[in-house]
Structure formats: C-alpha cells, structure tokens
Chains A and B, each alone.
Chain A
Amino acid sequence: MEVLNTFFVAPFLDMGSDLIFLTEVIIGGMMAGIMYSLVALGFVLIYKASGVFNYAQGAMVLFAALTLVGLMERHVPLVLAIILTMGVMIGLAFLIERYMLRKLVNQAQIILFMAAIGLNFVFEGAGQIAWGSNVKKLDVGIPDKSFEFGGILLNSFDLFAACTAAILVAILALFFQKTPTGRALRAVADDHQAALAVGIPLNTIWVIVWSVAGFVALVAGIMWGGKAGVQFSLVLIALKALPVLILGGFESVPGAIIGGLLIGIFEKISEVYWGPAFGGAIEGWFAYMAALIFLMFRPQGLFGEKIIERV
C-alpha cells in the first residue's frame, strides 16, 4: 500500500496541488526538450540522407564547443569565432564525405555505424588534442537570470536557448520542405538509386547534410556549453537524442521535433514528482526507460509508418 501510494498516488496529488509550479516544470521541460529536438534533427538528417546512424553527433557538439572556446580564448571576437568554427565544421563535412562516406557507399548499415563510432573517437580525440581537456567556461553574453512572467518563474538563458532552437528547427523544417535543395535531400533519403538516375549528386548532398549537422552541433554546443561549461559530458547530453529518436522514429522530421519536446517534459516531470520516491537523480535514465517502454507498444515510433514486409 505504502509503495502504491508513493509511486502512483502522491505524485499526482502533488501535481494537482500546485498548478503554477506544474506549469513551470512543463515549461522547463520544453526548453530542455527543444534542444533535444534540435540535436535529434541533426541525427535524422544524416540518417535519412546517408544511412549513417551518426553516433558521433555528441562528439561533434563537444568538438564545435571546444573549437569555439579555444578561438575565444585566443581573443577572437565572438561573431568571428562562430563563423570560423562553422567553417571548420563545413571543412570536416567535406573530409567525412571524401574519406569516409565515399569509400563506404553501398556498404551494410552496421559498417557505416562502426565508421560513425570511429568518427566519434576521432572527434573526441582531435578536440582535446587541439584545445586541451579542461572544463572551460563559455560566455556568449546572454544573461543567466531568473525573472517572473505571469506568475511563472523563467530563466533568461534557457528562454533564449529555447527560442534559438525553436527558430532553427523551424528554418530546417522549411528548408527541407520548400527549397529545391531540400527536395533533393528528401529524394536522396527516399531512394538513392533513383536520385542518382535523375542526376542528383550524392556527394554534394552528403556534404550539405553533414554541414547542417555540424551547424546544429555548434548551436547545441553554444547553448549547453554556455549553461554548464564546455566539458566532456556534452557528448553524453547529445546522446539524449537517442530516446527522442526512438520516440519520434528515425526517419521523421516532425517526429524528432515532437519527440524532443515530449522527452524534455517527461524527464522534468519525472524528476520533480517521482525523483524523491527513487531517491533522486532519475533525470539521467528516465528518458531511455520511457523510450524503451514506448517501443514495446509502437516499434515504428510516433510517426514512423508501420512496415509490413512484402512476401
């Protein structure tokens, strides 16, 4: 009885008793969630266009943040440093296309996945060799203050980060749906061979998606790095995109966006209301757990189409 009460009754009573606080928790969750959406979008783009499950996405976040901080430490002004870092990420996209994807075209997915794991270590190693492995402070000049809005407590930095991520997500979605390049990307994602036959250059497409993923990594690196310092754990935060992908489906852009928000909200709610029952600190693994349970009921994800094998 006692157990039932702590897990299934008390948390809901808590939620009902203070609705303003619940709203704050949900908003906090959405702000974290939109960042997950952004990173998940990076995964989805690469997965759709080049069939690679990009395990290195987290390391790319770390690498981008380290590069940015490293440049700023050498007194490069912020805007210039961001542009230079983006240049580095685009350069890396070229290298990845040239020396990894081009060699592995038409290989089995598991081989591409192994390559991505390798890439992960390259990024981790290169970032630390180039810029050192200390925790670094990243100050991009966004105030980190709390303020009240309509009775709800908000944090200015979180709000800024969430807005940036939301705008970026919207731009990416439009880019994908409305522009000729976006159409070419969707075509490649849909059917490689047919895309080749109509003359869409696969190599160019790969460079573009990996550059976009690099850009997403940079933004995520700035936001998370600015909040918690640039350090190795950035790699792990990016892996939060994994449950998002399970929830949203690996191939779905709207899935990545909504999945990210849902994971963010669930994570915060569980931490606040169920955390004490578990003795705290469940934010770290709750998302994975939730995604696994979800997978049992809908293996194709929220938006994925049910695949029935033709026999």
Chain B
Amino acid sequence: MTQERQFGNTILNVENVSLSFGGVKALDSVSFDVLEGEVRAIIGPNGAGKSSMLNCINGFYKPTECTIAFKGESHHQMETHQAASMGIARTFQNIALFKGMTTLDNVMTGRNLKMKKNFLWQSLYFGPAVKEELEHREAAERVIDFLEIESIRKTVVGRLPYGLQKRVELARALAAEPEMLLLDEPMAGMNHEEKEDMCRYILDVNEQFSTTIVLIEHDMSVVMDISDRVVVLDYGEKIADGTPDEVRANQRVVDAYLGVKHD
C-alpha cells in the first residue's frame, strides 16, 4: 500500500480465544482486532490455527473461553446463522460450494438472508414471491458481472476448474453484501495469473463496497502487497501483529517460518 489509508472504528474484536481438539491446542488465548474497511491478514505455518480462528469467528467452532465482539455487540460464542445475519460472509480453504448446482444458483443461495418473505411464501412460484426472486436475481447477476463469471452462469460448479470454483465461492459470499468477508486461502492452488486476478477482485471489493476483509494466505508476496495489517500465529499462539513491514522484521516470525525450535 503506497498511499495512506483511512479506517473506521473497530468492527471486530476477538479476545482470548482458546480452542483445543483433544490434546491439541489449536488456539491459545489469541486476541486481535480488525478495523472497519481494512484488509487484515492472518498468516502462520501449517497447523498454526488460522482456519480455526475463522471458524470461531463465524461460529463453526465453539471456543472454550473468549469474547467476540462484532460491530460492538459482544458474544461469548457465535452461532453460524447469527454471524451470517450480522453481515459476516466467508469462503473455505477446501471450497465448499454446492457442487451439483449451477453458478447462478450458488450465488443465489448467498442472497438467502436478504429474502424478506418467509419460507412459506418462498415455497410458491407466483406473484410477490416471483417478484422478490427476480430482484434478488438482479443482485446476483451484478455480482456475477463484477467477478466476470458471466460465461459460466449456467454451468454446474462441480465441473469447473479449481480457480473458477474459488471465484464462484467468492461470488456467493459477496452476494450476501457482507460487511466483513472472511477468506480462507482464496488463492491457494492458483497459477500466477489467477492469483493476480483474485488480488485485484479482493482489493476492488474492499475499495468499491468498503467491505472489511480478513484473509488467510500463504503466499508472502501477496500478503505483503494487499494487507494493511498482519496477525501471525504459530502453534495456536499469536507471535506478532502489525503492518507488513513490522511483521517481516520480527525475529519470532522469521524463526517460525524458518522452523527454529521452540524453547
């Protein structure tokens, strides 16, 4: 980032998140905050607990003790439905699309929470129900245009190449018009060109819709390029937190990445 960027208030504040699986401490008292409108990266070696952190934020995992405050509302644990309706959307490390459905249908599911009519109405196919469906269809098409996936609108996503699936997953998340996007390794497994495209989309989303972005990424050059601040996890602990330059200069981070033994 060259120019000075302005951010709003704290949108997300996680405090003392701890989570274990059997004997494994996936997260050990991790705290950090995210400001409105920033691109916040979470990095760390394999198994550091990055995905677990996202899973706690949107309620898939229930941490033992912690406070998660989103938009000033404090919760001991999040529920997935609650997280989604408060404006948190996400993508997954191992793409979790509806594989048997078309791109358009997948993106439309992202509109689910925006639909005002209740389930009974939505079970019908006439009058007001159709009208509402068409409005949401328009919104979905806008997202599809934005991410330039018009050509695969009617393709069943299970048949798409990996890179495109990742993009469809982003489209589904965007369709919910989230205030905060959690992206778990959005560029994993992509070639150089696809990565560049994805970076551009993420930055465009951040700029045009002022969506706050929390992303996990292994590619250091990408992280350093697009993020405003970085949290570094290692063995479930936070070992550094700051701007890309600060983090890069941090000795513990260098050690963790070079595999220096813990003492």
Contact = CB atoms under 8 A, between A and B. Distances in A.
Report if A and B associate in a common complex. yes
Contacts of B119: 181, 204, 208
A87 interface: no
A174 B98 contact: no
A186 B173 CA distance: 18
A190 B105 CA distance: 12
B177 to A, nearest CB: 12
Interface stretch (A1-9, A62-70, A192-200): A192-200
Contacts of A196: 60, 80-81, 84
Given A199-B81, A208-B119, A194 B97 contact: yes
B90 A197 contact: yes
A180 B122 contact: yes
A197 B60 CA distance: 9
Interface in B81-140: 81, 84-85, 89-90, 92, 96-101, 105, 108-110, 112-113, 115, 119, 122-125, 129, 133
A201 B83 CA distance: 12
A201 B79 CA distance: 11
B109 A179 contact: no
A99 to B, nearest CB: 20
B58 interface: yes
Contacts of A198: 84, 89, 109-110, 112-113, 172-173, 176
A212 B108 CA distance: 23
A190 B100 contact: yes
A201 B105 contact: no
A182 B101 CA distance: 12
Nearest to B133: A180
B70 to A, nearest CB: 15
B98 A186 contact: yes
A179 to B, nearest CB: 5
Interface of A is mostly: helix
A183 B137 CA distance: 13
Contacts of B100: 186, 190
Contacts of A180: 108, 112, 115, 122, 129, 133
Contact of A178 (B81, B89, B125): B125
A197 B113 contact: no
Interface in A152-195: 174-175, 178-184, 186-187, 190-191, 193-195
Nearest to B98: A190
A201 B80 CA distance: 9
Given A193-B96, A198-B176, A199-B84, A183 B123 contact: no
A174 B125 contact: yes
Contacts of B97: 191, 194
Given A190-B98, A194-B96, A199 B125 contact: no
A199 B98 contact: no
Q: Most B CB atoms within 10 A — which of A179, A197, A201, A204? A: A197
A265 B124 CA distance: 33
A198 B109 CA distance: 7
Contacts of A204: 119
Q: Most A CB atoms within 10 A — which of B60, B90, B101? A: B101
Nearest to A186: B101
Q: Most B CB atoms within 10 A — which of A186, A190, A201, A204? A: A190
Contacts of A199: 80-81, 84-85, 112-113, 176
Nearest to A175: B123
Nearest to B114: A199
Nearest to B117: A180
B125 A194 contact: no
Contacts of B115: 180
A197 B96 CA distance: 9
Nearest to A197: B90
Contacts of B108: 180, 183
Contact of B81 (A175, A186, A201): A201
A257 to B, nearest CB: 17
A191 B99 CA distance: 8
Nearest to B172: A198
A187 B123 contact: no
A21 B119 CA distance: 48
A200 B80 CA distance: 9
A187 B96 contact: no
A277 B73 CA distance: 76
B158 to A, nearest CB: 9
A192 to B, nearest CB: 9
Given A179-B123, A179-B124, A195 B81 contact: no
Contact of B92 (A178, A182, A194): A194
Nearest to A203: B81
Contacts of A181: 119, 122-123
A183 B105 CA distance: 7
Interface in A219-263: none
A184 B123 CA distance: 10
B81 A183 contact: no
A179 B112 contact: no
The 4 closest A-B pairs by CB, nearest first: A199-B84, A194-B96, A190-B98, A180-B122
6 contacts: A178-B125, A179-B123, A180-B115, A181-B122, A186-B105, A197-B58
